[in-house]
């Protein structure tokens, strides 16, 4: 049986995404995103699921940065889920809550709502939304956890508030990484990262122009600091097509003269939205 890693414990949003992606694998909980990556890199896991972007908060930067460091694993799939946050606790009165715990991403997705309605409540980051439930249960009625219904049921917590997220269309896209490349399906996406060779007018434009002229549709563009001097970036692009398609491999060859670094994270079937 395949082993699929995720940010645990059971009941996290990553757990929900993992079950929706593939409920035939053995799910293996890890305590942070680095351990999730390591599990695939060292062969303990066949593959793993990680959040990469959220429609309210944008990029999950830790995962974006860690992708640059992988040696063996590639992106083999994706899935997008709708994320609806609840406030859960052992009690049922919001008046008793002094602290709210969750993963930083989940707290950020509810930031405006919490600031507008409960500015006196202290927000505390923890390793995942399901870990937040576990801690809230231990600590008692002054502690609430932002998490989903399943995490609440697993930890026997009450729903104190629902629909906390600032954006009613709050969705998180997860990538699946694995050690075997995904074959073309005819409906694929490729994720890459690159750095520009030189900082001159139009250097990014020249790369983007190649995609445009060759009719390669881009579905995402992001940048992250190169972690060198100020003003140096790594650009991340998702494009439609598979690297085994001639058109895609040709374009990746054509951009080479404008870039100093290229990493192809993988080509994979365009995922469902659940």
Ligand X SMILES: O=C(O)C(=O)C[C@]1(C(=O)O)C=C[C@@H](O)C=C1
Could you give the residue numbers annotated as active site? 172, 174
DSSP secondary structure, 71-124, as one string: SS-EEEEEEEEE---EEEESS--GGG--EEEE-HHHHHHTHHHHHHH-TTSEEE
Show the tokens assigned to 85: 């946050």
Output 90 or 107, the one with its CB closest to ligand X: 107
- Rounded to whole angstroms, the Cα distance separating 166 from 230 reads 32
Stretch of residues binding ligand X (CB under 6 A), selected from 87-95, 99-107, 116-124, 175-183: 99-107
Nearest distance, CB of residue 211 and ligand X, angstroms:
28
Percentages (nearest 5) of helix, strand, coil residues in the chain: 30, 35, 35
Stretch of residues binding ligand X (CB under 6 A), selected from 6-14, 116-124, 218-226, 227-235: 6-14
Nearest distance, CB of residue 227 and ligand X, angstroms:
21
Does 60 engage in binding with ligand X (CB under 6 A)?
A: yes
Site string for ligand X, 154-193 (x = CB under 6 A): ------------------x---------------------
For 47, residues 6+ apart whose C-beta sits below 8 A from its C-beta are 2, 3, 4, 5, 25, 40, 76, 176, 177, 178, 179
Closest C-alpha to 179, from 2, 41, 31 = 41
Nearest distance, CB of residue 7 and ligand X, angstroms:
5
Output 52 or 193, the one with its CB closest to ligand X: 52
- Rounded to whole angstroms, the Cα distance separating 209 from 238 reads 15
Q: Of 18, 47, 48, 54, which one interacts with ligand X (CB under 6 A)?
A: 54
Nearest distance, CB of residue 181 and ligand X, angstroms:
25
Q: Tokens 């992001």 belong to which residue?
A: 222
- Half-sphere exposure (CA, 13 Å, Cβ side) for 53? 12
Q: Of 46, 74, 130, 155, which one interacts with ligand X (CB under 6 A)?
A: 130
Nearest distance, CB of residue 231 and ligand X, angstroms:
28
Stretch of residues binding ligand X (CB under 6 A), selected from 66-74, 98-106, 175-183, 216-224: 98-106
Show the tokens assigned to 215: 């009719």
- Rounded to whole angstroms, the Cα distance separating 52 from 27 reads 19
Size of the site for ligand X (CB under 6 A): 15
Q: Of 13, 134, 143, 235, which one interacts with ligand X (CB under 6 A)?
A: 13
Q: Kindly list the residues in this chain that would bind ligand X in the complex (CB under 6 A).
A: 7, 12-14, 51, 54, 60, 83, 103, 105-106, 128-130, 172
């Amino acid at each position: 049986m395949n082993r699929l890693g995720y940010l645990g414990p059971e009941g996290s949003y990553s757990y929900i995404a993992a079950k929706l992606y593939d409920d035939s694998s053995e799910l293996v909980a890890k305590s942070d995103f680095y351990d999730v990556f390591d599990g695939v890199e060292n062969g303990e896991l066949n593959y793993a699921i990680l959040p990469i972007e959220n429609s309210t908060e944008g990029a999950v930067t830790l995962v974006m940065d860690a992708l640059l460091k992988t040696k063996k694993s590639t992106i083999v799939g994706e899935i997008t889920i709708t994320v609806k946050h609840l406030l859960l606790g052992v009690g049922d009165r919001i008046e008793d809550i002094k602290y709210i715990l969750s993963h930083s991403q989940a707290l950020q997705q509810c930031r405006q709502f919490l600031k507008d309605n409960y500015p006196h409540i202290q927000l505390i980051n923890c390793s995942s939304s399901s870990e937040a439930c576990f801690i809230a249960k231990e600590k008692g009625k002054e502690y609430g956890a932002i998490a989903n219904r399943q995490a609440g049921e697993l930890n026997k917590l009450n729903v104190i508030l629902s629909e906390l997220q600032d954006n009613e269309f709050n969705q998180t896209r997860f990538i699946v990484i694995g050690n075997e490349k995904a074959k073309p399906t005819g409906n694929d996406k490729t994720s890459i990262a690159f750095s520009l060779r030189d900082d001159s007018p139009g250097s990014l434009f020249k790369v983007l122009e190649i995609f445009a002229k060759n009719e390669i549709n881009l579905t995402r563009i992001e940048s992250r600091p190169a972690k060198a001097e100020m003003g140096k970036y790594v650009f991340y692009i998702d494009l439609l097509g598979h690297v085994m398609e001639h058109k895609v491999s040709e374009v990746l060859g054509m951009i080479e003269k404008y870039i100093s670094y290229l990493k192809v994270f993988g080509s994979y079937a365009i995922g469902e939205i659940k």
